[in-house]
Structure 1
Amino acid sequence: MTNLEVSSPAPADQDGDWASLRGDCARMVPHWAAPERTAPRPVSPSRIHGVSVPVRSARLLDALPEYGN
């Protein structure tokens, strides 16, 4: 039978505060790589097809003042 018990190399800091969390994140920054930000390209309306919206969702959006009218 396989032993499914998993142990963590270090216990989580249960008494940590925001300062320790920010410090942990700052130490991890060199390990994270962010992709270059690119501007989204516009899509031609002729390429948008096959979109269907359920009737209930359409009625919900129609009832919202930001989307209706």
Structure 2
Amino acid sequence: MTNLKVHSSAPHHLGLDLEGDLASLRGDCARMAPHWSAPAPVPPLSVSPSRIHGVTVPSASARLLDAMSDYGD
């Protein structure tokens, strides 16, 4: 069951439009953007090919990939 009760501290002259359009949604997002921050990107660590060993692929998976033109050709 959805609770549609809304408690808003927005001024009444701005109104509360639950069926807003794209422009109002974009405006809401623009006002909220300063409140959120994205974490700094973490560069992937590279692994030397000599450290990659012991990988086994089941024969059924190898056949499946071989049958796919993106991988087998």
TM range (shorter): 0.5 to 0.7
Cα deviation, 1:13-56, whole Å, max 9, x if unaligned, reads: 1x21111111111111111111112322212342x567666666
Q: Is 1:63 matched with 2:67?
A: yes
The structure in which a higher percent of residues are helix is: 2
Superposed counterparts of 1:33-48, under 5 Å: 33-45=37-49, 46=51, 48=52
Q: Which one has a bigger Cα radius of gyration?
A: 2
How far apart, in 1, do the equivalents of 2:17 and 2:57 lie?
A: 45
Cα 1:8/1:55, change in 2 over 3 Å:
farther
RMSD over aligned Cα, in angstroms? Answer: 3.3
TM-score of the pair, normalised by structure 1: 0.53
Task: Give the gaps of 5 or more residues in structure 2.
Answer: 9-15
TM-score of the pair, normalised by structure 2: 0.51
How far apart, in 1, do the equivalents of 2:20 and 2:60 lie?
A: 46
Cα 1:63/1:12, change in 2 over 3 Å:
farther
- The alignment of Structure 1 onto Structure 2 pairs a total of residues equal to 63
